[in-house]
Amino acid sequence: MKILHCADLHLGYETHGRLDPATGLNTRLLDFRRSFDVLAARAIAEDVDLFLFAGDAYRTADPTPTQQRQFAEALRPVLEAGIPVAMIVGNHDHPVSFGKASSVDIFGVLDGAVEVFSQPTFRGKDNPIRTKSGPLQLIALPWPIRSKILATDQYRGKTPHEIRELIESYYATFARQCAEAADPAVPLVVCAHLTVQGSELSGSERASLIAHEPTFTVPQLAPPGVDYVALGHIHRFQDRNAEAFAAGEGPPVVYSSSIERISFKEHDAEKGFVLVDIDPAGVPGRRTSFEFVATPARRFVPIQVDATEAGDPTAAVLAAIAAHDIADAVVRVRYRVGEEQPAVDEAAVREALAPADTIAAIERDLDAVERRQRTVVRSDTTLKDAMERYVDQHETLARIKDDLVAAALEIEREMDAATR
């Protein structure tokens, strides 16, 4: 039985993109579509039994019609090939207010071949997912809706720490009880959009990981009898149970990674999806193999130049650019020069960056004195401008500037939505 496992599409991240004159769309949207098309084509070529999406289809719970159309068009060939699709809701898919539909619920309404899970669900031996290779049991663990829990009288007034412990206990107990009730003769898969303790972050998640977010151990998400744990939420490919799986003592517990880079924090992370093969005739928990498949993700190339000792700072920056492969990449150049040095010729730098797909930034690193001079924020200053000025004052935050600004704007949108 073959499964294609993917997650964290994040359609709508258009930072570091530009308008494509041929289509009128942001080039980053086209990048995500290109990688998804590769993924869908592989699913069809492999004739997989199930297309399993582990959450976060969009950047926000309110995708634009264009973003929805792109996702639907990309998914259509998979459905036309007769491949069933199962999707769980991720934290980016969830609306702020309890009772509102998630950004992916529409797929479960429009086409019977797509199942969307927005709450913990067990498709066990009496109601498995039907595939051409036989039944599959699924434990779906989508992102927990905190607002739903807080809307219940018995949980009002509990602290965030207590709510987190409640979620962790409920999800772990649910997974264990489902595994105990499963038919060992039928493959059993867990699909979760959650954080496993000790996971290696790619970097961009740090801006979106939520305070008091529930975290889980491998045994909690992979109780005895489970054949594969398909994870989303963390953007770096990894098997959190690699040693036990290699020793034949547990199933793979795998983050598939995202299919495209969304920030420079992910510049060195592989992007792709996972092909899973489960032998129904094998021993439960030891009958699975899997393969990571890379997508043609757009490269992000950060170039950092310390030209404080250079006689010609411009030449130093140009030499650093020449040392990198920037063709068709998103490129960011940051350089440091002293107060008494000649200014860097940014026009020459921009010309040297012509082979790049997009120039994300050409920035001079500021010294502490200059940062302190940039502290003025007026009443009419936008949140984006205020955040950027704040980060510019703190050298330790420079590397995550884009992520912090994006997170602040996301919180602003959520607060606006909650007050409508």
Q: How far is CA 411 from the centre of its chain?
A: 17
Q: How far is CA 321 from CA 52, 238, 255, 303, 315, in A?
A: 41, 32, 33, 7, 10
Task: Write out the two tokens for 166.
Answer: 């409640």
Residues 85, 112 contacting (CB under 8 angstroms): no
pLDDT tens figures, 370-382: 544 554 555 556 7
Q: How far is CA 355 from the centre of its chain?
A: 28
**Half-sphere exposure of residue 358, counting CA atoms within 13 Å on the CB side?**
18
pLDDT tens figures, 17-67: 899 999 999 999 999 999 999 999 999 999 999 999 999 998 887 888 899
Predicted pLDDT of residue 203: 63
Beta bridge partners of 331: 301, 359
Residues 298, 357 contacting (CB under 8 angstroms): yes
CA distance 54 to 3: 12
Where do the domains of the chain lie?
Answer: 2-294, 300-418
Residues 76, 69 contacting (CB under 8 angstroms): no
Short-list 34, 50, 120, CA closest to 82: 50
78 burial type by CB count under 10 A (0-12 exposed, 13-18 middle, 19+ buried): buried
Confidence tier at 94 by pLDDT (50, 70, 90):
low
Predicted pLDDT of residue 97: 37
pTM: 0.82
CB atoms within 10 A of CB 25: 16
pLDDT tens figures, 336-350: 998 889 999 999 999
CA distance 1 to 254: 17
Predicted pLDDT of residue 145: 76
Predicted pLDDT of residue 413: 66
CA distance 103 to 89: 8
Mean pLDDT of the 112-132 span:
92
368 burial type by CB count under 10 A (0-12 exposed, 13-18 middle, 19+ buried): exposed
Task: Write out the two tokens for 161.
Answer: 């720490």
* Residue appearing with tokens 């992007």: 271
CA distance 261 to 329: 11
> Does domain 2-294 fall into CATH 1.10.287.610?
no
Predicted pLDDT of residue 315: 97
CA distance 401 to 393: 11
Is the pLDDT at 240 greater than 60? The verdict is yes
Predicted pLDDT of residue 152: 65
pLDDT tens figures, 257-275: 999 999 999 999 999 999 9
